[in-house]
Amino acid sequence: MTGLYKAFEETDSSLMEINPFITCSDGRLFALDAKMNFDDNALFRHPDLKELRDVTEEDPLEVEASKYSLNYIKLDGNVGCMVNGAGLAMATMDIIKYAGGIPANFLDVGGGANAEQVTHAFEILLSDKNVKAVLINIFGGILRVDTLARGVVEAANKTNIQLPVVLRLEGTNVEQGREILKESGLNFIVAETMKDAAEKVVAAARS
C-alpha cells in the first residue's frame, strides 16, 4: 500500500488502483491487475512514461487535435462546436443542451490561437461525420476575431463545407472579423447572443 502511494506520487498520477488483489491460502498477497492514470500536464517530467503513449489506442481525431495543441474531446451528439477557452466551451456545450441539442465535441482552440490552428480545428470538427451543424462561439480577448474569421474562411474554402455554420463573435477586432466573413461570400448564420446562437444551431442541426 505504501509502495502504491509512493508510485502514485512519484509519477504525478491522477489515479492508481490495484484491482483485484488476492490472498493465497499460504497467506501471500498477489496484485492481479492494476490501473494507472497519469496527469497529461506533468508528463514533461516523465519522458519514460511519455514514451509509452500508444496513439493507435486513442481516438484519431483527438490525436490529430493534440498535434496542434487543441483541446478536442469527441462526444456523441451532432452539433459541432468551436470555442476559445475551456470555460466558455463548457458553457457553450451546456447551452446547446439547454436548447435541446447534443454537442458533438468539446473543442477549445485556446486563448491565443492563430489562423492555422483555427483551420486545423475546423477540419477536425468537420471530419466527424455525425456533425450536422457547427457553432463557432468566440470571445476575442487575446485571440483576435479577425484572425479567427480568416481561419474559418480559409478552412471553409479548403474543406468545401456544406453544413450550416452559426457564428457568435464578440471581442477585439470584431468589426473587421464580421467584415471578413461578409466578404467571403460564404453562407454563415450570424447570431447575436449565446442563447440565440444555441437555438439557431440546434434548429439547423435538425433540419
Partner 1 sequence: MASAAGGMEIEQVAAENPNAILKEYITPGMGLSAFQARKLAFQLGLKPRRSTKRCS
Please report, as ranges, the residues that interact with partner 1 according to CB under 8 A: 1-2, 5-6, 9, 19-21, 23, 27-31
Question: Nearer Cβ to partner 1, position 1 or 52?
Answer: 1
Taking the complex as a whole, the smallest distance from the CB of residue 5 to partner 1 amounts, in Å, to 4
Rounded Cα distance between 3 and 7, Å, is: 6
Q: Quote the least distance from Cβ 41 to partner 1, whole Å.
A: 17
Torsion of CA 150, 153, 157, 158, to 10 degrees: 50
Show Cβ contacts of residue 35 under 8 Å, excluding neighbours closer than 6 positions. 15, 16, 17, 19
Nearer to partner 1, 31 or 55 (CB): 31
Angle between helices 115-126 and 60-67 (to 10 degrees): 180
Q: Which is nearer to partner 1, 19 or 160 (CB)?
A: 19
Closer CB to partner 1, residue 31 or residue 86? 31
Cell of 14: 491522477
For residue 134, the cross-strand partners are 80, 165
* Smallest gap from residue 74 Cβ to partner 1 (A): 24
Give the strand pairing for 188-190 and 21-23.
Answer: unpaired
Nearer to partner 1, 30 or 98 (CB): 30
Residue 7 Cβ vs partner 1, minimum distance, rounded to whole Å: 11
- What is the DSSP secondary structure assignment for residue 55, as one 8-state letter? G
Q: Shortest gap between Cβ of 15 and partner 1 (angstroms)?
A: 10
Q: In angstroms, rounded to a whole number, what is the distance separating the alpha carbons of residues 171 and 174?
A: 6
